[in-house]
Structure 1
Amino acid sequence: MLPEHEALLILTREQFPELHGATCEVETILKGASDRHFYRLKWQDGREPMILMVYTLARRDNPKFVPATRRLEKIGAHVPHVMAFDEQRLCVWLQDLGRVDLHSFDQKPWSARQPLYEATLREAAKIHGVDEQHLTATDLTELEPAFDEALYEWEQNYFLDHFVGGHLGREFSDAEYADAHGALQQLRRRLGRLPRCLVHRDFQSQNVLIQGEEAWLVDYQGLRLGRAEYDLASLLYDPYVNLTRSERGSLLRYYAEHRGLDLAELREVFYLCAAQRLMQALGAYANLSRNLGKPHYLQHIPAAVSNLAEVCQEGPNLQELRAFFEGGF
């Protein structure tokens, strides 16, 4: 066994004295772009496996995972149960929800995927049911900073710096992009004025685990106030999977009916949030591939650009944004 794994087992047995002497296999779980490390602890005596998450303080949202878990459990959302927490050693032991995520169903027929997406939207609705008025000042200290015009602008600049400038090599400050910059300003101002609710923030297919016909959420340490449509856009315009326009429309209609919302109003803000989210994603893919040594994220850029082009066609006052990315991946 690797020395690192032996050290992790020592820490685990300190938390769970009943496991002293129990044989365990430690499996390293490779997960996305996170700076956290995950391990599956598989006990040989028939006990249920558990997940050990070891995090760092390099990201401000990492310590928010446990408070976010407890908050989501209180509203009945499906999230992994925290079995133990060592705040000093930055370790969290979690219920093991298995290996199957929503992304793994991408090649299945829509008849198999649709109920899983609908189950996922029902979990989202639980989170979105908590609006700003339900949260105290103390509650807000446990969340990441809320979406406001400044945060939307930060995401837009992330897109401009890393994707438009870094990846495409375009001088986006040139006069030819003046109308596109005006569209960005209009977008962030409009979104920043809208009322907010609790949102997951990274609500994509790899952050949804599937058990039977139920959806379970992970990677929600970025929990904050924002627009529900931002989460919906993260899921329905996820560049990691293939959803048709008809399938997206069906799921958006399902969510509106589930929450008793006006579909036309939901759709209008949905496209605005989709443009915002896809620009953020493109900035991330470019930054991860160019600057952080993760070139495999380049493969997701064409799908994200294609999705953004569609959104700019569908949404109000988004056409000018096409100047930033048209004709290049």
Structure 2
Amino acid sequence: MSEKILVDTLVGESIQKKIISGDKYKIIKLTGDASTRRYYRVVFEEKGYVVCLDMPRNPEDGEPDFLRIQKVLKNGDVRVPQILDYDIERGYYLEEDLGDQTFLRQLSLCKTRDEERSLYIEAVDLLISLHKTDLKKYPQEIFNKRSFDEEKLMQEIHFTFQQFVEGLMGYQRDKYNYNLMIKDFSSLAKRICRGPWVFTHRDYHSRNLMFKDNELIVIDFQDARRGLPQYDLSSLLEDCYYQITSENHDFLIERYWQNVGIEHYKTKEEFLSAYNLVAIQRIFKAIGSFAYIYRLRGDIRYLRHIGRAFERLKDIMFLSNEYPQLRQELSSLYYAY
């Protein structure tokens, strides 16, 4: 059975259950994300839906992470995609159609920096809602059982050395100061792991926010975990896909500080210091992801993001100035390539 026939069958069952209505519809395959999930748009005369096909699950294993987390966020009044029907045994999820307008595409329509700021205020306020999720209310949920601990952070660091430094740039491990840099990154990771913890999306950036009917909707939250509040904030404000002005950057950090940061840190200086450390790890990890996607798929579009990411990484490391030798070693490899 081809996948389109499977989608047709599953949508037909949703119609029979009167979850959706309509007779004639088209099924259009959509470009997937970095996961193994596949997506189809189901277009009726007056309305459309999206079908997600994921790995089938045994009901005894419980609901998948994204479904459980979706329910938690929805109950917390965080705008997430509506899931209208699902069958976990067949990996079928019928969702509302959010369209194709990402936050990134919406930013491209801004006529002024004030418009840009207004859009980012919406994104920061949505993030504030996410971070207000009360972890104590959900002790058994998956996002409370995993965190950005040292092992996870260093796993991402090692990944970038493998995929970017050695894989893409072609350096042999015994030909550069790998151990010195790992020692500094390990020190950085230990400091990040001290907390405080909030509900963390893990990949909160301009391509994981959708813009529909003048409303921002957060997607791709299935890997949520406990983490520093600065992790998601730096993912948004140090986004490798889009650069905002320094004025808007500082304004948005202040907005977040006043609403969330001040609840977890004694001083803003302490908050900003942790922000810089998290941003260094996050951006370095993103560079590894871009290199990996290019090497795996040959998708040249991701190479252009590495340059901006590295320049921003270098700027933040200068600003922080806590690991000058690490910055110098990384720069010597990058600019010699």
TM-score by length of 2: 0.87
Specify whether residues 133 and 7 from structure 1 end up closer, same or farther in structure 2 by C-alpha distance, changes over 3 A only. closer
- Taking the aligned partners of 1:143 and 1:43, their CA distance within structure 2 comes to 39
Please list the CA deviations of residues 76-116 of structure 1 after superposition, one character each: whole Å capped at 9, or x if unmatched.
10101110111011111112222211111343232222112
Match of 1:241 in 2: 242
Q: Is residue 261–residue 271 contact of structure 2 (8 Å, CA) maintained in 1?
A: no
TM-score (norm. length: structure 1): 0.89
Describe the superposition over 1:45-85 as per-residue Cα deviations: whole angstroms up to 9, x where unpaired: x2x32111112379xxx931111101111111010111011
Instruction: Give the match for residue 80 of structure 1.
Output: 81
Instruction: Name the residue aligned to 2:195.
Output: 194
Secondary structure of 1:234 counterpart: helix
Q: Give 1:128 deviation, angstroms.
A: 1.2
Q: Give 1:284's aligned residue.
A: 289
Q: Is the 8 A contact 2:157 2:285 kept in 1?
A: yes
Q: Distance in 2 between matches of 1:144 and 1:110?
A: 40
* Contact 1:115/1:213, CA 8 A, preserved across alignment: no
Match of 2:330 among 316, 321, 324: 324
Please list the CA deviations of residues 233-267 of structure 1 after superposition, one character each: whole Å capped at 9, or x if unmatched.
11111111122333221211121123362533322
1:36 aligns with 2:37: yes
8 Å contact 2:106–2:211 — kept in the other structure? no
Q: 1:29 to 1:175 in 2, by over 3 A?
A: closer
- Say which of 229, 251, 268 aligns to 2:273: 268
Contact 1:132–1:197, Cα closer than 8 Å, also in 2: yes
> For the residues of structure 2 that align with 1:178 and 1:260, how far apart are their CA atoms?
34
Partner in structure 2 of residue 223 of structure 1: 224
8 Å contact from structure 1 (residues 253, 263) kept in 2: no
Identity percentage of aligned residues: 24
> Comparing 100-109 with 167-176, which one deviates more in the overlay?
167-176
Distance in 2 between residues matched to 1:159 and 1:144, nearest whole Å: 25
Superposed, 1:13-24 pairs within 5 Å as 13-17=12-16, 18=18, 22-24=23-25
Matched, 1:11 2:6: no
Task: Report the equivalent of 2:312.
Answer: 307
Aligned residue pairs total 321
For the 8 Å contact 2:130–2:199, the answer to whether it is kept is yes
SS at match of 1:221: coil
The amino acid that maps onto 1:310 is D
Distance in 2, matches of 1:258 and 1:3, equals 50
User: What is the match of residue 60 of structure 2?
Assistant: none
What letter is aligned with 2:302? Y
Aligned match of 2:147: 146
Which ranges in structure 1 are unaligned for 5 or more consecutive residues?
A: none
Counterpart position of 2:127:
124
Describe the SS at the equivalent of 1:16.
helix
How big is each residue's C-alpha offset from its partner over 1:15-34, in whole Å with a ceiling of 9 and x where there is no partner? Answer: 23146761002222214423
1:105 and 2:110 matched: no
Partner secondary structure for residue 199 of structure 2: strand
CA displacement at 1:9 relative to structure 2: 1.7
Q: Quick one: distance in 1 between partners of 2:94 and 2:151?
A: 35
5+ residue gaps, structure 2, are 58-62
Letter in 2 for 1:111: D
Paired residue secondary structure (2:230) = helix
8 A Cα contact 2:15 2:22, kept in partner: no
Post-superposition CA distance 1:141-170 (Å, at most 9, x none): 366721101111101111111111112222
